[in-house]
Amino acid sequence: MITPGALYIVATPIGNLRDISLRALDILAAVDMIAAEDTRITRHLLKAYSIPGQVMALHQHNERRGAEKLIGLLAAGKTAAFVTDAGTPGISDPGASLVKLVREQGHEVVPVPGANAAICALSASGIAASPFIFYGFLPAGSGSRRREIARLKTQPYTLIFYEAPHRVLECVEDLAAILGGHRELIIARELTKLFETMHSCCLGEACAWLHADANRQKGEFVLLVSGAEAKNESGLSEKAQHILALLMKELSLAQAVRLAAEITGESRNMIYSHALTLKRPDGP
């Protein structure tokens, strides 16, 4: 059933303990050692399924040292599994360095798939699922976070972020300020748990929704943001061009440009340039 000298990368539930696969349970019961990001959380999972496995700690602070211990076991023909607190190892979690070191020593690494919060949220979001960019956690500092968001602003792909409860408000504020309040946002919190929530709104409305109930700011978050709209040679999205054209029918050029920029979040200079084109006798 298992290969001697192999390391198994095992996905575990992100909340509901019944979301573990039968294969994952078989592997965890059969290996000689289970390396865990948090041994307390892993022992709780093992106890729920009456698995008496031997557990060692392996996390971001001791990944190199823990990897060397596991490699020694694998070299002796033993088998091992690695699990994180929840979800798939190596996805915004420890694991990548471990896998690299184990592979460099010539040992087989076997993935055992399962739960992943980003894919779980995306599947129930209703946002176009392909293509998408999974970013994980944005930087904690506001300046660095805003710079990273700005780098992603023009990407026409769904953007997926993880966020902690104590930073979710400021993160959403920065997303709205830089990407524009018109983009669609899915707030997914406490996935597969008792207070699971999936809320859809515009980025500009998200902070008000979070402020309306303090409980909405609790738990672990997945934030999904719709991609930037495709733009033509003017540099503006079709939506921005349409809004500008409507405003120019009722307002002065300067007023139409100012409002179009505020509504869409797009460059005022590009909107102004396109407005001048619309004003020409021969049109765009």
Q: Where are the domains of the chain?
A: 7-114, 118-225, 238-279
- Cβ neighbors of 45 (< 8 A, separation 6 or more) are 12, 13, 17, 20, 83
Supply the pLDDT for residue 281: 59
The CATH architecture that domain 7-114 belongs to is 3-Layer(aba) Sandwich (3.40)
Q: How far apart are CA 119 and CA 60, in angstroms?
A: 23
Residue 263: pLDDT band by 50, 70, 90 thresholds?
Answer: confident
Predicted TM-score of the model (pTM): 0.81
* 120-158 pLDDT, tens digit each: 999 999 987 679 999 999 999 999 999 999 999 989 899
Q: What is the pLDDT of residues 36-69, one digit of tens each?
A: 999 999 999 999 999 999 999 999 888 889 999 9
Which of the following CATH numbers is that of domain 118-225: 2.60.120.1440, 3.20.20.70, 3.30.950.10, 3.40.50.620? Answer: 3.30.950.10
At residue 171, what are phi and psi to the nearest 5 degrees?
Answer: -65, -45
